[in-house]
Amino acid sequence: MFSVEEIITLNGTLEYRKDLVTGLSCRINAERIKRRIDQAPTLVFSSDGCPFCPGQVETVTPVFPEGTRIVHGESVTFPNLFPFARWHTVTVITREHVVERFTPGQIEDALHGQIDSLLLREGYGSINWNFLPSSGASLAHPHLQGLVDTRPPERVLRVMEGGKHFRQKHGVSYWTHFCEEEKETERYLFGDNIVWIAHAVPVGEKEVLGVLPCATLEEFGDLVPEFARGLLTLIDLYQAMGTYAFNMAVFFAPSRRDRDFRTFCSLIARINPNSTSLSDSSFMERLHLEPLILTSPEDLGRFYQREKENLKR
């Protein structure tokens, strides 16, 4: 389901990989990790003036048309003041401004806040998370962002169209086949119901795909506890590898009309917050649209197998 081309250079080898279903490609050079540009994180973020801290979040954040915000446990959900989708909501996950270890309950409550807010509109929904400023989060205070649009995001479109061709050619669902195949490889991490896999053609560093047995936001509700535990295990895995910042997106279909659509989660590790504004995105990611990957998906799978007893949630 993907192609690998090994390239021999003057200084070692690298791989060009291409996902044959989505057409997305990347380059992997595991040698580059030896440059050790990612250092221990700077995790001191001032809460001065933070609109998501207790005392502020209940007063300065916007409200839904009924004049209310959605509250689940300690999470608070409201419309985004500066939307970049037709429907764009924010869920502040915790009362704490800086969190080093989330509890499953905190993540579950925040996801339910997102689901409730996104079900207020029809369309292609997604639940997203930029964690820590080096991942693109403009506020350090942990928060999720939900989007609903009438058209699917580019990545979902590629999976849907590639999946349609796959069904025509092979007569089976792309996702079902993908999970069956990947479970037999060293990229398989864990899970039977929600299947977590180190992505063979990562869109970002240490990408993990979670494939869920559902399609819509309504159906996701029942899977939230299992999903939250899986996600926290992966956040622990990243931390065991020395990386704290990440991006996450979970994609949903508007309805069950497309029988092959599967909700999927993409999680990538980002460079740790650092004092020199060093970035992990360069001309390769931003202009060539071909991510440069330092951790091979197979190494990520092997690292998980070695560490899994220490990562139980």
Residues in contact with Zn ion by CB under 5 A are 47, 50, 52-53, 97, 141
By DSSP bridging, strand 25-28 and strand 292-293 are: parallel
Least distance in angstroms from the C-beta of 144 to Zn ion = 15
> Cβ closer to Zn ion: 141 or 262?
141
> Cβ closer to Zn ion: 50 or 90?
50
Backbone angles phi, psi at 173, to 5 degrees: -70, 135
Least distance in angstroms from the C-beta of 10 to Zn ion = 49
Residues 6+ apart with CB under 8 A from 243: 38, 205, 206, 269, 270, 271, 272
DSSP classification of residue 300: H
Least distance in angstroms from the C-beta of 54 to Zn ion = 8
Least distance in angstroms from the C-beta of 97 to Zn ion = 4
CA atoms within 13 A on the CB side of 132: 19
> Cβ closer to Zn ion: 21 or 137?
137
d(CA 67, CA 52): 18
Least distance in angstroms from the C-beta of 168 to Zn ion = 50
| Residue closest to Zn ion, measured at CB | 50
Please check whether residue 93 is in contact with residue 143, taking contact to mean a CB–CB distance below 8 angstroms: yes
> Cβ closer to Zn ion: 37 or 53?
53
Least distance in angstroms from the C-beta of 71 to Zn ion = 17
d(CA 243, CA 159): 28
Distances (CA, A) of 229 to 69, 193, 225, 234: 26, 13, 6, 9
> Cβ closer to Zn ion: 109 or 207?
109
> Cβ closer to Zn ion: 75 or 263?
75
